[in-house]
């Protein structure tokens, strides 16, 4: 098996810089669109054979060094007891947002094998299909990010309801975060036991917080997740989006790899993170709309700036955009392999 990705996560010597892309299985691929045209999004997530099929597509087409499970961060939120649906215009919608003690009390800490067995079945299929190829990454949303969806009932511009609960009812807010944290740990533990060879915790909305609130209110739950998962012999990746103002805090989370978004200078990120963790990132996803020579130039820049890291996994600074030309994504992956090869 090509274990370059796993070695880089652990800070071991690698023959070249491994690369994978957040949202690499998705709408920019015609092959994904062909599958998606026959089923709705949640059905795709919950049908192991189809979820495995679209997970494998970018491995075959882009030649990336890791596969990431096709699913959605809100799957465990639905299992906690919330109604979940996806719309093309508004994205995810969660019925009856949780903003009271009664709402928090209704939420359960789900057993993954009972309520999300389709995720585990997908992982088992993928491990068979990926044997002797590349590792499989499992994932979950981080406690804070999942809390925003639970409280807001979907995405938000200012996260007023979430921050209002955090400031006005911190006791209730912490009870909610404790339930979500227990769910994330159980969910990722089950993924690892099913065969995930690394796991990523996505904190998509970490950057909307002040550094003070992130460190004192949210960060303890991140550390709890990382600590609980460290007993397994798999790398843990923590990606805090828009992390420039909190990177000096993020580096203390205990994860093996810190994901860095494109707003952060990679050279500065490497200096701040030091040698306790590897780094992942951080090409601006919109660079993939540039001509090939410019893509190559920017890939080289990221590689150069990451040279001092304990280990480096090349990635975008956030998910690949649906409009991205596939040939440019292929070119970028090839450029990373070619430009970083040690021999």
Predicted confidence (pLDDT) per residue in 47-59, tens digit: 999 999 999 999 9
Q: Are strands 84-87 and 91-94 parallel, antiparallel or unpaired?
A: antiparallel
Residue 221 annotated to the active site: no
- Give yes or no for residue 38 having a pLDDT over 90: yes
Where is 112: in which H helix or E strand?
helix 112-115
Q: Using 50, 70 and 90 to split pLDDT, how confident is the model at 90?
A: confident
Q: How far apart are the first and last CA of the chain?
A: 20
Structure token pair of residue 284: 């601006």
Name the pTM for this structure: 0.97
Give the span between the Cα atoms of 313 and 331, in whole angstroms.
17
- Give yes or no for residue 206 having a pLDDT over 80: yes
Q: Using 50, 70 and 90 to split pLDDT, how confident is the model at 343?
A: confident
Query: What is the three-class DSSP state of 164?
Result: helix
Q: One of 16, 32, 149, 214 is an active-site residue; which one?
A: 149
Q: One of 16, 23, 28, 203 is an active-site residue; which one?
A: 23
Give the span between the Cα atoms of 41 and 85, in whole angstroms.
9
- The answer to whether 80 touches 179, Cβ cutoff 8 Å, is yes
- The answer to whether 331 touches 12, Cβ cutoff 8 Å, is no
Q: One of 28, 32, 65, 72 is an active-site residue; which one?
A: 72
Residue 10 annotated to the active site: no
pLDDT value of residue 91: 83
Average pLDDT on 76-101 reads 92
Give the span between the Cα atoms of 83 and 166, in whole angstroms.
23
Give the span between the Cα atoms of 33 and 39, in whole angstroms.
10
Q: What is the 3-state secondary structure (H, E, C) of 206-252?
A: HHHCCHHHHHHHHHHHHHHHHHHHCCCCCCEEEEECCCCCCHHHHCC
Residue 23 annotated to the active site: yes
- Give yes or no for residue 88 having a pLDDT over 90: no
CATH code: domain 4-340 is 3.20.20.210
Q: Using 50, 70 and 90 to split pLDDT, how confident is the model at 77?
A: very high
Q: One of 3, 10, 27, 298 is an active-site residue; which one?
A: 27
In the chain, domain spans: 4-340
Residue 72 annotated to the active site: yes
Structure token pair of residue 72: 């959605």
Q: Using 50, 70 and 90 to split pLDDT, how confident is the model at 228?
A: very high
pLDDT, tens digit, 9 for 90 and up, residues 243-299: 999 999 999 999 999 999 999 999 999 999 999 999 999 999 999 999 999 999 999
pLDDT, tens digit, 9 for 90 and up, residues 298-332: 999 999 999 999 999 999 999 999 999 999 999 99
pLDDT, tens digit, 9 for 90 and up, residues 124-163: 999 999 999 999 999 999 999 999 999 999 989 899 999 9
- In percent, the amount of the chain with pLDDT more than 90 equals 97
pLDDT value of residue 203: 98
Structure token pair of residue 277: 């963790």
Q: One of 10, 36, 127, 133 is an active-site residue; which one?
A: 36
* Angle value at C-alpha 197, between 129 and 26, nearest 5 degrees: 60
């Amino acid at each position: 098996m090509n274990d370059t990705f796993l070695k880089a996560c652990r800070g071991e010597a690698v023959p070249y810089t491994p690369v994978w892309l957040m949202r690499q299985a998705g709408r920019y691929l015609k092959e994904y669109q062909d599958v998606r045209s026959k089923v709705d999004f949640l059905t795709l997530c919950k049908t192991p054979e189809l979820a495995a099929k679209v997970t494998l597509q970018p491995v075959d087409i882009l030649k990336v060094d890791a596969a990431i499970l096709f699913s959605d961060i809100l799957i465990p939120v639905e299992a906690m007891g919330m109604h979940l649906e996806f719309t093309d215009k508004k994205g995810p919608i969660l019925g009856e947002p949780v903003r009271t003690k009664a709402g928090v009390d209704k939420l359960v800490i789900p057993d993954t094998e009972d309520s999300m067995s389709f995720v585990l079945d997908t992982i088992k299929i993928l491990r068979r299909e990926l044997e002797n190829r590349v590792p499989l990454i499992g994932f979950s949303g981080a406690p804070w990010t999942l809390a925003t969806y639970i409280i807001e009932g979907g995405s938000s511009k200012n996260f007023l309801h979430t921050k209002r609960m955090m400031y006005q009812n911190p006791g209730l807010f912490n009870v909610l975060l404790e339930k979500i944290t227990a769910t994330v740990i159980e969910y990722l533990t089950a993924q690892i036991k099913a065969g995930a060879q690394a796991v990523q915790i996505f904190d998509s909305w970490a950057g909307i917080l002040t550094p003070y609130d992130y460190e004192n209110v949210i960060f303890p739950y991140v550390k709890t997740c990382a600590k609980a998962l460290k007993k397994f012999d798999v790398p843990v990746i923590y990606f805090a989006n828009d992390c420039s103002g909190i990177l000096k805090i993020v580096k203390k989370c205990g994860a093996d790899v810190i994901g860095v978004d494109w707003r952060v200078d990679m050279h500065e990120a490497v200096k701040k993170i030091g040698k306790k963790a590897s780094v992942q990132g951080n090409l601006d996803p919109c660079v993939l709309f540039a001509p090939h020579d410019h893509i190559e130039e920017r890939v080289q820049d990221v590689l150069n700036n990451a040279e001092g890291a304990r280990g480096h996994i090349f990635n975008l600074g956030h998910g690949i955009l649906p409009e991205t030309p596939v040939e440019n994504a292929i070119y970028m992956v090839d450029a990373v392999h070619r430009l970083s090869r040690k021999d």
